[in-house]
Amino acid sequence: MFPGMEENEFDLVGELDRTLKALGLSRDGAVSELVVRGQDPLVPSTIRLGSAMGIALLSAAVGAAQIWESATGRPQRLGLDLGQAMHQLTPYLGGGNTLNGYGSNMGSVLGLGGGLAPALWDLYRTADDRWAIPIACYPSTRDAFLDMLGTAHTREHIGAAVARRISWDLEEEAADRGVPLAIIRSREEFLAHPQGRAVLDEPLVAVERVGDAPPRPLPAGAQPLSGLRSLQFTHVFAGTAAGRVLAEQGADVLHVCEPNAFDHDLCWNETGVGLRSARLALDSGGDGRRAFEELLRTADVFMHNHRAGKMSRLGLSPEECAEISPGIIHVSVRAYGHSGPWRDRGGFDQHAQALTGVNWSERRDGRPQLPPGRMLNDYLAAYLVAAGVMSAILRRAQEGGSYRVRVSLAGVSNWAYQLGTFTAEQVERLLPAAPLAPRSASPGRPRSANSPSWRRR
């Protein structure tokens, strides 16, 4: 909680306006009415999960409304139910997408015996009485993780192996081997850590001009982003979900992955709605690379969430993309930030939680925990990225230029923590007696433009 605040009082609209100002957006003139229902805690968490998701959702909504008002002169009325916002934060609160009535195929994340894999969301105690969270649920990282520990793919074997390791040595060796793993830190440890200080120095969403180009008119059509073309080179949740948000506002979004890239059904089903997809080899001068650069030249947005080293090897930095496609909006989503000693270290939503003190804040009986629904940062980042893209679209229409938009999962996690926390006792006292409402069906509207304009010409 903020000092002096009542237990159940929180100025969500004030926090929204501060976030919009930092993004270069504003409700003024674009939003004729704003209604927000509900308040935290909505689930047993010390973090203001509903408010954080609500602010991220509304930031993207205001960006779309501002583009719409600039193009048409018509403002929008916005409404938000924080209970429904919680279902946008994570699919693990009973609101995941289905395909033909079935949930996602989870076979790719099962371990020996048929249960969920032991290196997915499990916490393991180290020899120095700290907690590690490895997420090695992809074939290459799973093999590297098990090879590092010299053990079998069961909770018992992994737990015994981690229990023999010193936490900081384990974390550094995992980073050297490309294994996503983080040691859970307290808030004070995060603030004192070099990467923590780097995260604190970065804006939540950076929108920066990186080159010159003529102004481009705002999108024109039936939806705020109709006609906008976004090229996605993303995987897992945050980056691909940001493309989904753009598609929901009318953008034509093409997701590109490399020929041997793999992702889980759950990721595709949750984030790929409204997106086309293609496989192209980007690391050579062959047909795949030529096709990709042809697509890039006609794109408004290029979005990725790969490590900086990989993007450098592929020649797809913001400046290089702007040279190929002047006026491009280059989006980068990273795990731990765009500066600091961990800037090129890979990680997932839960690793950003571990670094920033979220898991320690959620502890029960001295044991750190993931928040309800396990996720915090991926979808927050997706909607904040979309808001940053819309801010860049407005700037580009007014002054021209090429832009870069930067977001990190750790930055988002830190921001959510800074919205204020509850104690465990406050959560128990303030938590609503009624359970979280089921997820409502989305209004009937197109999920993407789905025009044929991405065909090669």
All structural domains of the chain, each given as residue ranges with its CATH number in brackets, are 1-99+203-436 (3.40.50.10540), 107-198 (3.30.1540.10)
pLDDT tens digits along 201-249: 999 999 999 999 999 999 989 999 999 999 999 998 899 999 999 999 9
Q: How confident is the model at residue 4 (pLDDT cuts 50, 70, 90)?
A: very low
d(CA 17, CA 36): 14
Pairs from 115-120 (Cβ < 8 Å, separation ≥ 24): 117/142, 117/153, 118/153, 118/154, 118/155, 118/158, 119/145, 119/153, 119/158
What percent of the chain lies above the pLDDT cut of 70?
94
Task: Please state which of the ranges 32-36, 96-100, 373-377, 432-436 shows the lowest mean pLDDT.
Answer: 432-436
Q: What pLDDT, on the 0 to 100 scale, is given for residue 446?
A: 39
Q: Is the pLDDT of residue 266 over 50?
A: yes
Average pLDDT over residues 296-301: 98
User: Which is higher by pLDDT, 153 or 265?
Assistant: 153
CA 55 – CA 215 distance, rounded (Å): 29
pLDDT at res. 92 = 87
- HSE-up (13 A, CA, CB side) for residue 228: 38
State pLDDT tens for residues 174-192.
999 999 999 999 999 999 9
pLDDT at position 95, please? 66
In angstroms, rounded to a whole number, what is the distance separating the alpha carbons of residues 278 and 300? 18
Q: When comparing pLDDT for 454 and 246, which is higher?
A: 246
Taking the C-alpha atoms of residue 224 and residue 448, their distance in angstroms, rounded to an integer, is 12
Question: In terms of Cα–Cα distance, which of 140, 178, 346, 344 is closest to 261?
Answer: 140
Which residue type occupies 182?
A
**Pairing assessment for the beta strands 229-233 and 31-37 based on DSSP bridges:** unpaired
Instruction: Name the phi and psi angles at 253, rounded to 5.
Output: -115, 125
Q: pLDDT at position 25, please?
A: 98
Label the pairing between strands 131-134 and 124-125.
Answer: antiparallel
DSSP 131: E
For residue 441, the model assigns a pLDDT of 59
Lowest mean pLDDT among 23-27, 66-70, 88-92, 314-318: 88-92
Bridge-based pairing of strands 124-125 and 229-233 is unpaired
3-state SS class at 405: strand
- What pLDDT does residue 63 have? 98
